[in-house]
Structure 1
Amino acid sequence: MTTKQSYELAKQQYEKWGVNVDAILEQLKNIPISIHCWQGDDVAGFEVNKGELSGGIDVTGNYPGKARTPDELRSDLEKALSLIPGKHRLNLHAIYAETNGEAVERDQLEPKHFENWVNWAKEQELHGLDFNPTLFSHEKAGDGLTLSHPNEEIREFWIRHCIASRKIAEYFGKELGTPCLTNVWIPDGYKDIPSDRLTPRQRLKESLDKVFAVEIDEQYNIDAVESKLFGIGSEAYVVGSHEFYMGYALKNNKLCLLDTGHYHPTETVSNKISSMLMFSDKVALHVSRPVRWDSDHVVILDDELREIALEIVRNDAADKVMIGLDFFDASINRVAAWTIGTRNMIKALLYAMLTPNAYLKQLQEDGNFTERLVLMEEFKTYPFGAIWDYYCEQAGVPVKETWLEEVKQYEKEVLAKR
């Protein structure tokens, strides 16, 4: 049976529930995923005076073939993008600047240091670029404090870096015709119980106020702030907690970015999305997979990923939730990691779009919890895979696991020679 024939049979089963499968596939094409560049080089970046990875972040594994140059990283990204259906975005960190061998401090970065990325994005016809100031892996973040540092000189350095990053993002937005999401995450915190939780947060607020005092049109740049529960070296206290950033974002008309690994293991981001959307026009996501802690494992099609997608789709929020990825695994082929994670995010969205959400909502309103549970469970084994295979085929990317052969060939011809 051909992929098309399997699709037609599967479509009939969904259409019994009023699901317009053809229309859904057209809609899915228009949902971009912001793919993070840092999976390809283990969050190393290309600074001339490159420091060790810090900030409560850890990358484990030594799989061969890590990208060592911008051109190698772009080549690896091109291979991954060729295996992923749809038109997507790329998420960059400031440490991926190209300075032609010149040591440029982070607070002196300019749009010209990212011209190659913009030109490449245009060549690849990407949906756009997103950006992140890099407030880790630097001597001025050596004690784990940046925007909340008690030393004013150090705080001002990081303030200048964040302002420079927002101006770079503005450049991205103007060049590519779609606003750049600029996300501020800092590692600030303490390993042991602090004697003062308030003062560092006051300093962080003052620093952010200075960063955002520089006005940039949201036509080109959208600001976001990202919380964290704890990190390596900041187990007892993180300055930028969820409550801090949620309050700051709501009060200052910024986006609150929810990272799926940045909460207590019993919390789920899927349960937060609807609440956030009640008070914010948009919400940003970093989709990762925490295994007992913020371990940034490659995204798999697990219950939480499906639930995140369902919350986005059933609440008509595809244009309100900006979806980005954030994982880094150096124990497996890095191109495969990008492909697995991104394809799974898209699969989850498709799964959610194929669910008869309006009917299920009405069952809940009617108090018919028996039928609600029955259908929610039965739809888990509907022929979703046949729809996905057809979507991939129509997009011109490999169907099922056949994409792995291309990755193996790329590893043999390119990665293994590095």
Structure 2
Amino acid sequence: MTVKENFELAKKAYEKWDIDIDHVFAQLKQVPISIHCWQGDDIGGFEVNQSELSGGIEVTGDYPGKATTPEELRQDIEKALSLIPGKHRINLHAIYAETDGIAVERDELEPKHFEKWVQWAKKNGLGLDFNPTLFSHEKASSGLTLSHPDKEIRQFWIDHCIASRKIGEYFGKELGTPCLTNIWIPDGYKDTPSDRLTPRRRLKESLDEIYTVKLDEKFNIDAVESKVFGIGSESYVVGSHEFYYGYALKNDKLCLLDTGHYHPTEMVSNKISSMLLYSEKLALHVSRPVRWDSDHVVTLDDELKELALEIVRNDALNRVIIGLDFFDASINRVAAWTIGTRNMIKALMLGMLMPNEHLKQLQEDGNFTERLALLEEFKTYPFGAIWDYYCETMGVPERENWLNDVKQYEKEVLSHRE
């Protein structure tokens, strides 16, 4: 049977539950995923004086074909986008500035250092998001940045974050879609601290100074990102979830939840409904932790499906900004982007292919037997046929056929890189 014939049969199964597949397709097309550029070069960036990766971040593997120039990185991103259905966004870090061989310190970065990224984004119809880079730098070697006891070091990072927010505003103005500028810092201690409050007070004061510079929210959206622990900060992280959620609520900023930044048994999917009661919007960095924040490529696991379902059934597609954050150097990097992003979209589609209102009513009625039965039966509904046809209508390969394109690209392009 053809993809279309399989689709028509599957469509009837869902229509029995008044699920409008045409509406699902139309809705899904409108959801942009912010795809992180740093999967393509193992978070190397293009600074003239590159520092070793630090800040509790670890990238393992040495698969050949890593992008080593901005042109190669953009070429690889374009290849991945050609295999992913929909129109999406690209998320940059400050270390991806292009300074024409001139050493520019991070607190001196300007919009002009990202002009080529903007030109490329315009050409490809993409939005851009941004992150100041508060790691892999001599002034972050102690593991402390915005909470550092040395005011001079704190000021350097404050100025870097202010510069980054202005770059985000530039992206928004140039591209006609607001840039999410997200602040994450590695600050913390390896062993039990003797004072938790003072570093958090300094972080709050640093953030307050960063945000005294007022920018137009039509062009730049501010977010802050927490973490529970990391390499070198196993016992204490200054920017905890409680710290940042309180700060975000009080100061009208977005709280960004990275799915790898919580206790291994703590589910981000369970936080969304509570946080949406008090926050107009949330942001996500979707990753896959394996025992710790290891940033594995996103797979279609139970937590990803539950995360997407929470967004869909609570009518929050316009309230939750979805980005990705993983980096695996042990496999083909274009394939990693493709696998992870397609899985995020698959999870959203699965959420849309559920009789959510009926299931909600069953819960309200106390009919837990039928609710559980339906939840289990829908696990084996013919979702794959719907997904395949969606890919076909969007002009990208269905099923595993995209892998042939990646293999050909590796043969013709990636294998020739040093």
TM-score normalized with structure 2 length: 0.99
Structure 1, residues 104-148: CA drift from partner, whole Å, max 9, x if none? Answer: 00000000000000010111111x100000000000000000000
What does residue range 113-262 of structure 1 map to in structure 2 within 5 Å? 113-126=113-126, 128-262=127-261
C-alpha deviation, 1:233, in angstroms: 0.5
What does residue range 249-328 of structure 1 map to in structure 2 within 5 Å? 249-328=248-327
In 2: Cα distance, 1:177 partner to 1:125 partner: 10
Structure 1, residues 209-237: CA drift from partner, whole Å, max 9, x if none? Answer: 00011001110000000000111001010
Q: Which residue of 2 aligns with 1:35?
A: 35
Q: Which residue of 1 aligns with 2:76?
A: 76
Q: Which amino acid aligns with 1:284?
A: A
C-alpha deviation, 1:266, in angstroms: 1.1
In 2: Cα distance, 1:261 partner to 1:142 partner: 23
In 1: Cα distance, 2:95 partner to 2:296 partner: 22
Structure 1, residues 62-84: CA drift from partner, whole Å, max 9, x if none? Answer: 00000000000000000000000
Q: Does 1:66 align with 2:66?
A: yes
C-alpha deviation, 1:4, in angstroms: 1.1
C-alpha deviation, 1:338, in angstroms: 0.1
Q: Which residue of 2 aligns with 1:412?
A: 411
C-alpha deviation, 1:382, in angstroms: 0.3
In 2: Cα distance, 1:213 partner to 1:279 partner: 23
- SS in structure 2 at match of 1:223: strand
In 1: Cα distance, 2:211 partner to 2:4 partner: 51
Q: Which residue of 2 aligns with 1:13?
A: 13
In 2: Cα distance, 1:124 partner to 1:417 partner: 25
Q: Which amino acid aligns with 1:114?
A: F
In 2: Cα distance, 1:376 partner to 1:185 partner: 37
Question: Gapped runs of 5+ residues in structure 1?
Answer: none
In 1: Cα distance, 2:60 partner to 2:26 partner: 39
- SS in structure 1 at match of 2:101: coil
In 2: Cα distance, 1:229 partner to 1:105 partner: 29
In 1: Cα distance, 2:345 partner to 2:146 partner: 35
In 1: Cα distance, 2:177 partner to 2:77 partner: 20
In 2: Cα distance, 1:114 partner to 1:377 partner: 49
In 1: Cα distance, 2:326 partner to 2:246 partner: 26
Structure 1, residues 285-343: CA drift from partner, whole Å, max 9, x if none? Answer: 00000000000000000000000000000000000000000000000000000000000
In 2: Cα distance, 1:383 partner to 1:122 partner: 38
- SS in structure 2 at match of 1:119: helix
Q: Which amino acid aligns with 1:59?
A: V
In 2: Cα distance, 1:120 partner to 1:9 partner: 41
Q: Which residue of 2 aligns with 1:393?
A: 392
In 2: Cα distance, 1:216 partner to 1:392 partner: 39
In 2: Cα distance, 1:35 partner to 1:266 partner: 26
Q: Which amino acid aligns with 1:182?
A: T
Q: Which residue of 1 aligns with 2:331?
A: 332
C-alpha deviation, 1:5, in angstroms: 1.2
Structure 1, residues 259-288: CA drift from partner, whole Å, max 9, x if none? Answer: 000000110000000011000000000000
Structure 1 consecutive aligned stretches of length 4 or more whose deviation exceeds 2 Å? none
In 2: Cα distance, 1:146 partner to 1:135 partner: 7
What does residue range 38-117 of structure 1 map to in structure 2 within 5 Å? 38-117=38-117
In 2: Cα distance, 1:75 partner to 1:172 partner: 20
- SS in structure 2 at match of 1:279: coil
Question: Gapped runs of 5+ residues in structure 2?
Answer: none
* Number of aligned positions between the proteins: 417
Q: Which amino acid aligns with 1:103?
A: A
Alignment root-mean-square deviation, CA:
0.4
C-alpha deviation, 1:252, in angstroms: 0.3
Q: Which residue of 1 aligns with 2:355?
A: 356
Q: Which residue of 2 aligns with 1:403?
A: 402
Q: Which amino acid aligns with 1:111?
A: P
In 1: Cα distance, 2:151 partner to 2:394 partner: 52
C-alpha deviation, 1:2, in angstroms: 1.2
